[in-house]
């Protein structure tokens, strides 16, 4: 048996338990928190593939902190959710720093087909995608966290690493820009 | 200027628990009206995405976390091997320099006090032991890099 095998077997012997949380507990946590986090990542990144990658990376990091040497203090549901959003937002920024903002491509094909259905929800879906594409990355994040996740300025500040006062101003500007982008579409529909 | 009640308005619209004062404020505040309109469209979009697509399954993420843990464990374990390997190389370099210096002195007919028989034996034993350790460590590490023959 090689050294790599020995260590891999040792680490693999605890597949039912990674970093102090067992698979069933993780599944329950994932079922409660993954979907809103994934939707946030899809809209903030503009790419489903990237959102999948970042979601996976977010939970890997969460699990590695869960039982590591610098273990997390016990967290309630809201704190866990906020922590997951913070990791995801950090990873998103990291990805933008590495590869710029050229990731908004792969939803195009899927959503082009959806236009033909023209359900009200699908029309709103296309509108939001168009608006998000026109906004800066930081604006997308702040708008989504405030208007979909219902987070207040302090919560958004904790997740994005910005000051609460800056969030207030940035949210105001992002909202004005989003409203301007949505208005022609709204008028056309009306 | 941003409205101070904007977030409160959004939260109230999501929970359906707006106070009468907040409702009165919403009716006369263009900022809150605009925020509510955007929030409504964003919510429709979020629901649409949730219904028409899904995040990766939990089992896939769990397996990735397990793989990550094994990789980290492997990385940690190989740190000791790397340190031993580096120490062996440093020892060998120092020994070669010392031996070259001692042999040069010998060539000139001067036998330094550190090069008596006892010291030389101890040095050679140490060198052989170091070579053995480095060799075994390298062999063990290199075996791990080979693909399985099964």
pLDDT digits (tens, 9 = 90+) for A47-76: 889 999 999 999 999 988 775 555 566 778
| Residues of chain A with C-beta less than 8 angstroms from the C-beta of B7 | 146, 150-153
**In the structure, how many helices (H) and strands (E) does chain B have?**
5, 0
Name the residue among A3, A8, A125 with its Cβ closest to that of B141. Answer: A3
**Cβ-based neighbours of B82, under 8 Å, separated by 6 or more:** none
A171 vs A147: CA distance, rounded Å: 10
Q: A5 or B73: whose pLDDT is higher?
A: B73
Alpha-carbon gap: A159 to the closest alpha carbon of chain B (Å): 16
Interface probe for B, chosen from A148, A151, A182 (most Cβ of B below 10 Å), is A148
Residue with tokens 């959003």, as numbered in its chain: A85
- Between chains, do A2 and B58 touch, taking CB under 8 Å as contact? no
Interface A:B, Cβ pairs < 8 A: 153
Whole-number Å distance between alpha carbons of B31 and B35? 6
Residue A14 pLDDT class (50, 70, 90 cuts) = very low
Which residues sit opposite A21 in a β-bridge?
A18
Residue position matching structure tokens 């009640």:
B5
B25 DSSP β-pair partners: none
Report ipTM for this prediction.
0.74
Percent residues over pLDDT 70 in chain A:
67
What pLDDT shows up at residue A102?
Answer: 47
**Cα A71 from Cα A20, distance rounded (Å):** 10
- Quick check: B91 and B130 in contact, CB under 8 A? yes
Q: Greater confidence, A104 or A74? A: A74
Q: What is the DSSP letter of A67?
A: S
Considering only CA atoms, which of A136, A150, A106 is closest in space to residue B9? A150
Distance of residue A164 Cα from the nearest chain B Cα, in angstroms:
13
Residue of A18, A23, A52 lying closest to B56 (CB–CB): A52
- What is the reported pLDDT for B128? 80
Average pLDDT, chain B: 79
Q: What CA–CA distance (Å, rounded) separates B145 from A3?
A: 9
Q: How far apart are CA A32 and CA A30, in angstroms?
A: 5
Which of helix, strand or coil describes residue A21?
A: strand
Residues 73-102 on A with a CB inside 8 Å of B are none
Could you read off the pLDDT of A78-95 as tens digits, one per residue? Answer: 888 999 999 999 999 998
> Token match 């505040």: residue?
B29
pLDDT surpasses 70 at B112? no
Taking only the tens place, the pLDDT of each residue in B128-141 is 877 777 777 666 66
Dump pLDDT digits (tens) for A28-50: 999 999 999 999 999 998 888 99
Instruction: Tell if the CB–CB gap between B44 and A168 is shorter than 8 Å.
Output: no
What is the percentage of chain A residues whose pLDDT exceeds 90? 40
Q: Show me where the domains of chain B are located.
A: 6-52, 76-145
Residue A18, SS3 per DSSP = strand
Tokens of A168: 């207030």
Report whether A45 contacts A103 (CB < 8 A). yes
Q: Indicate yes or no: CB of A8 within 8 angstroms of CB of B74.
A: yes
**Which residues numbered 5-64 in B keep a CB inside 8 Å of some CB on A?**
6-7, 10-11, 14, 31, 34-35, 37-39, 41-50, 52-56, 58-62, 64
Contact B32, B5 (CB under 8 A): yes
Reported as a pLDDT band with limits 50, 70 and 90, residue B95 is confident
| Interchain CB distance below 8 Å, A171 and B6 | yes
Closest CA to B45 of A129, A130, A88: A129
Least confident of A14-23, A176-185, B1-10, B128-137: A14-23
CB contact under 8 A, B68 and A64: yes
pLDDT higher than threshold 60 for residue A118:
no
User: In this predicted model, what pLDDT tens digit does every residue of B14-60 receive, in sequence order?
Assistant: 888 888 888 888 888 888 888 888 888 888 888 888 888 889 999 99
Q: Which domains does chain A possess? A: 1-105 (no CATH), 106-190 (1.10.10.10)
**Whole-Å CA distances, A56 to A17, A30, A61, A77:** 17, 11, 9, 19
Pick the more confident residue, A38 or A184: A38
């Amino acid at each position: 048996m090689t050294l790599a095998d020995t260590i891999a077997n040792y680490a693999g012997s605890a597949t039912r338990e990674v970093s102090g949380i067992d698979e069933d507990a993780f599944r329950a946590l994932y079922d409660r928190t993954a979907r809103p986090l994934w939707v946030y990542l899809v809209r903030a990144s503009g790419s489903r593939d990237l959102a999948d990658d970042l979601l996976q990376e977010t939970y890997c990091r969460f699990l590695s902190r869960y039982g590591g040497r610098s273990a997390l203090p016990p967290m309630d549901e809201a704190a866990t959710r906020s922590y997951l959003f913070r990791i995801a937002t950090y990873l998103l920024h990291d990805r933008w720093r590495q590869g710029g903002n050229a990731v908004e491509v792969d939803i195009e094909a899927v959503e082009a087909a959806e236009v033909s259905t023209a359900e009200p929800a699908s029309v709103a879906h296309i509108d939001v995608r168009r608006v998000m594409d026109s906004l800066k990355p930081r604006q997308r994040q702040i708008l989504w966290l405030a208007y979909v996740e219902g987070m207040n300025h302090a919560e958004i500040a904790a997740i994005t690493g910005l000051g609460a006062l800056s969030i207030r101003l940035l949210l105001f500007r992002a909202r004005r820009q989003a409203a301007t982008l949505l208005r022609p579409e709204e008028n056309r529909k009306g | 200027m941003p409205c101070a009640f904007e977030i409160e308005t959004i939260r109230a619209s999501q929970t359906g628990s707006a106070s009468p004062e907040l409702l009165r404020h919403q009716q006369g505040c263009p900022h809150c009206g605009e925020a509510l309109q955007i929030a409504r469209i964003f919510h429709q979009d979020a629901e649409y995405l949730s219904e028409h697509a899904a995040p990766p399954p939990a089992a896939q993420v769990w397996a990735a976390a397990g793989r990550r843990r094994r990789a980290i464990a492997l990385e940690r374990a190989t740190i000791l091997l790397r340190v031993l390997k580096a120490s062996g190389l440093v020892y060998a370099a120092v020994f070669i320099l010392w031996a070259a210096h001692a042999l040069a002195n010998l060539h000139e007919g001067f036998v330094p006090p550190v090069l008596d028989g006892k010291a030389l034996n101890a040095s050679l034993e140490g060198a052989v032991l170091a070579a053995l350790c480095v060799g075994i460590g390298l062999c063990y590490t290199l075996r791990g890099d080979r693909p399985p023959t099964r």
